[in-house]
Structure 1
Amino acid sequence: MSLARKILSLDDDSPDLESVLESKSARSLLTVRDSTDTNGSPNRSPLVRLLSLLKRRPILSIRVFCWRRKLRDSPPIIAEELASAITMASRARNPLLAHKYFNIYKSLVNGRPFLFNVLMTAYMYNGDVEETFLLFYKLQRLTEYGPDTVSYNILLSLCSYRRLVQEMESVFYEMEIYGIPPSIKTYHILIRGYLRSGMWEQMESIFGSLKKPNTSTHLLMLRGYALAGKLEKMERMYELVKREVHTRGRSLIWAMISAYYKVGGESSRRKIIELVKLVGGEEHLYFPNLHMVLISVYSEEGLIDEVRRIFDALNRNMVIGSHRVMTYENNSCFLF
């Protein structure tokens, strides 16, 4: 969408945004209502599509929404557009604005529990435990629909991230009482909660209760077993997801290296060396504390050239870092 490219070329506070939006092409695009696509399914509004393209620039997205909602002689804001605006306010770390939009369009909120979920996600994203639970309880009181699996997953995610294990377990128990079906994401959230809290038995118990674990489940358990130092189980899980770990699981490789290093021994050192080869380049040398692990491992294996390579890489990194600081200090005189 060329309009998105034009907007993305602007600074967040650029005064030129309004002139871009006031162009004839932009106005006609953002005020049209698509009915259905070629398959007969409802289309997303052009505004929703535009905001999705601007999601990395939430301030700009909010400014676009503010312009659109004040536009005269245009179709009223619909629920999906409101959901996008609340999400953008959340990304901008402005839960008060998200709450304001939610209240302004109360007529849209009624009968649409997914909008409660969007605002709950905004509160969760910004770490507001109290407001997340209060909105959940408000949704519970609306007996005509009430919370769904997504609503409970939001609460579970908040508790999991905050290591509120008892609260997390209470929320999951409530799901069982009210017959809310858990999703695979529900179990992943529980596993993460126990993993973060170092509760390995509970983590394994949830994993064992899953009838159809998927790749994401196995990647989670690989990390859990690595942190728990359960090498045999870690290695079995690694065999199941080796390809995924090699392509996008760099942090999992670090976790496995740390697990082997804690155990020690010649076999562990050999496995560490093999894992490092999967990463390639010198980026791994700057991972927190990993260079110290590798220096120790390479020294014990007598790989002096590898030790020297690490020191050379670290020296280059320190020189580059110092150069950046000096450049900033030398140029800063022009700022005053």
Structure 2
Amino acid sequence: MAKPNHHLRLLRGCFSRKPRLLPPSPARLPFRRPDTAIRSTAGTRRLSTSDDHNDLRERIMLLSEKPIALPTNAETEETRSLISSLADDLLTAGHLSNLADDDDLTDLAAFLESRSAVSLLHSSPPGSAFVELLSRLKTRPRLAVQVFLWRLKQANSGVQVVPEEYAKAISLAGRAKNSGLARDLFTDGGRRGIRSTSMYNSLMTVYMYSSLTRKAVAVFEDLQRDKNCIPTISTYNLLLQVFGRSMLIGKLEIVLKQIHEHPLLSPNLTTYNTVIAAYLTAWMWDRMEMTYEQMIAGDVKPDIFTRCLMLRGYAYVCDITKMEKMYELVKSHVNERVWSLLRVMICAYCKSSDKDRVRKIEELSKHIPEGEYKPWLNILMIRLYAQEGLVDAMETLISEAVSREIRVVASGVMRSIISNYFHCGAVDRLSRFIKVAEYAGWKLCRSLYHTKMVMYGQRNQLVEMHGVLGEMEPWFDRTKRTFLIMYKAYSKAGRMSEAETIIGMMWKYGFLASEEVLIS
């Protein structure tokens, strides 16, 4: 066994490495994104009607074990107050924010000892005070892990470390995006003769959120071989989530079968929620619904989170009827807290043929706070209002997008806007929109200018129609369609000399063969 000080240096060396960024989740998007795209000043990104899908999966954080906690009485309330004060002092000490080397750890030790941190360890049940301290430092996981390294030194002086402290430190290393350090902490616990199911679960969780599926499964296999620790339902739930996040549905179902067949375990609410979330991610709607129906018929009943998962699934598959029924069950909760689900429902209505979709969308939009503005949703709504022929509402959202420096780069959205102006005969509004689009850097296309020419031609405003050529010239060359629009406008107005001139220009530029005849 390595000497304690040497081993601590090894741990600090792991932590001081440049942390590896978490790779993107392998899970596919729950449904195809529309062809609409936006670009802001920060760069280009695709619209995502499921922008909070990753956040939803993160909410299925499976607790490995119930952490030990300080009992509630007058004496421990004072201890809790001291822990809170110490945590606040650590979080506000700027020079302790990014600790990595021996000198920094010395400074931290002096800081903790000056605030009687050692006495806290002695005055509370084993591990309880320190687990709570680490929990309060979770927003600064690098700092929290360094505090734990100081705690290990106290263990060398006789204040024994308990497994829950290691489990918490392993989780914090994962939050710091350092799975290597998490593994080293786990190994260090084993060297000290400290090992528990909660420590295995914490390491599995770190690997899971780092998308290290094989390593997470290997930890589970190690746990099965450990004679001193037994996998709990929380362990199996973690394994389900590992496979669910990687969309390894076959393996997930094998684990689920093992849970059902285990003599000492039975699936709980977290088990079913994890399975439903996995089916949702994999677009397996029938199995998602089957699992939900099993919960309805069984002993483990759905909770509000289960129903939110189902609501999301029905929205993704655009099953409006079932979506609306599920929404009624969780309406108040979703309206007040889960605005991402409101956005997903709006997307479903946009894709549907529901005759009352505009009213329903506007009702949902009332519950989304101002601070929850999403550029992709703004553009999706522009397209919806364009398709419905609602010019005023469309222009309101266009103005908002421009004021927020959002740039539309999808031809589909632009074509919908153009069609709306054309069907409403709003050529003046179209003209203003073209100027706005040019200024804001939106996707330009010939259809903008051709449609404007057609509309002027229908009104016999031939001078204005001809003027559009100059507006189009900086952006696009003239095509055969450009000349055909002009030819038909002059012919309709009875100005045949100009129409014949257009024919000559088409021959000149190679748009007509000698045998072609134009029919007005």
Relative to the length of structure 2, the TM-score reads: 0.56
Q: Distance between the aligned counterparts of 2:145 and 2:261, measured in 1?
A: 40
Q: Distance between the aligned counterparts of 2:228 and 2:321, measured in 1?
A: 50
Task: Using the TM superposition, give the Cα deviation of residue 24 of structure 1 relative to its aligned residue in structure 2, in angstroms.
Answer: 4.5
SS in 2 for 1:245: helix
Assess, with a 3 A threshold, how the Cα gap between structure 1 residues 124 and 109 changes in structure 2: closer, same or farther. farther
Q: Which moved more, 1:273-282 or 1:252-261?
A: 273-282
2:122 to 29, 32, 39: 32
Relative to the length of structure 1, the TM-score reads: 0.85
Equivalences for residues 112-191 of structure 1 within 5 A: 112-142=196-226, 145-179=229-263, 180-191=265-276
Task: Using the TM superposition, give the Cα deviation of residue 300 of structure 1 relative to its aligned residue in structure 2, in angstroms.
Answer: 4.5
Q: Distance between the aligned counterparts of 1:287 and 1:198, measured in 2?
A: 26
1:298 to 378, 385, 388: 385
Assess, with a 3 A threshold, how the Cα gap between structure 1 residues 301 and 4 changes in structure 2: closer, same or farther. same
Deviation per CA, 1:225-264: give whole Å up to 9, x if none: 1111111111110000000110111110111111111113
Is structure 2 residue 109 aligned with structure 1 residue 22?
no
Q: Identity over the aligned pairs, expressed in percent? A: 36
2:285 to 200, 207, 213: 200
Q: Distance between the aligned counterparts of 1:33 and 1:74, measured in 2?
A: 14
2:169 to 82, 85, 98: 85
SS in 1 for 2:404: helix
Q: Distance between the aligned counterparts of 1:82 and 1:20, measured in 2?
A: 22
Task: Using the TM superposition, give the Cα deviation of residue 191 of structure 1 relative to its aligned residue in structure 2, in angstroms.
Answer: 0.5
Task: Using the TM superposition, give the Cα deviation of residue 198 of structure 1 relative to its aligned residue in structure 2, in angstroms.
Answer: 0.6
Amino acid aligned to 2:132: R
Unmatched 5+ residue regions in structure 2?
1-83, 407-520
Does the 8 Å contact 1:79/1:108 carry over to 2? no
Q: Distance between the aligned counterparts of 2:117 and 2:229, measured in 1?
A: 38
Task: Using the TM superposition, give the Cα deviation of residue 160 of structure 1 relative to its aligned residue in structure 2, in angstroms.
Answer: 0.9
Does the 8 Å contact 2:127/2:161 carry over to 1? no
1:308 to 387, 392, 395: 395
Deviation per CA, 1:153-180: give whole Å up to 9, x if none: 1111111111111111111112223232
Does the 8 Å contact 2:163/2:198 carry over to 1? no
Of structures 1 and 2, the one scoring higher in RCO (CA 8 A, sep 6+) is: 2
Does the 8 Å contact 2:336/2:367 carry over to 1? no
Q: Distance between the aligned counterparts of 1:282 and 1:33, measured in 2?
A: 45
Deviation per CA, 1:185-239: give whole Å up to 9, x if none: 1011110111011110000010010031111111110001111111111111000
Is structure 2 residue 154 aligned with structure 1 residue 64?
no
Amino acid aligned to 2:145: I
Does the 8 Å contact 1:226/1:259 carry over to 2? yes
Q: Distance between the aligned counterparts of 1:246 and 1:268, measured in 2?
A: 18
2:336 to 240, 243, 247: 247
Does the 8 Å contact 1:7/1:17 carry over to 2? no
Task: Using the TM superposition, give the Cα deviation of residue 181 of structure 1 relative to its aligned residue in structure 2, in angstroms.
Answer: 0.7
Does the 8 Å contact 2:378/2:397 carry over to 1? yes
Aligned residues: 308
**Residue of structure 1 equivalent to 2:31:** none
**Residue of structure 2 equivalent to 1:102:** 186
Q: Distance between the aligned counterparts of 1:150 and 1:249, measured in 2?
A: 26
Amino acid aligned to 1:57: R
Equivalences for residues 242-281 of structure 1 within 5 A: 242-281=331-370
Unmatched 5+ residue regions in structure 1?
36-42, 320-336
**Residue of structure 2 equivalent to 1:54:** 137
Task: Using the TM superposition, give the Cα deviation of residue 303 of structure 1 relative to its aligned residue in structure 2, in angstroms.
Answer: 4.2
**Residue of structure 2 equivalent to 1:73:** 157
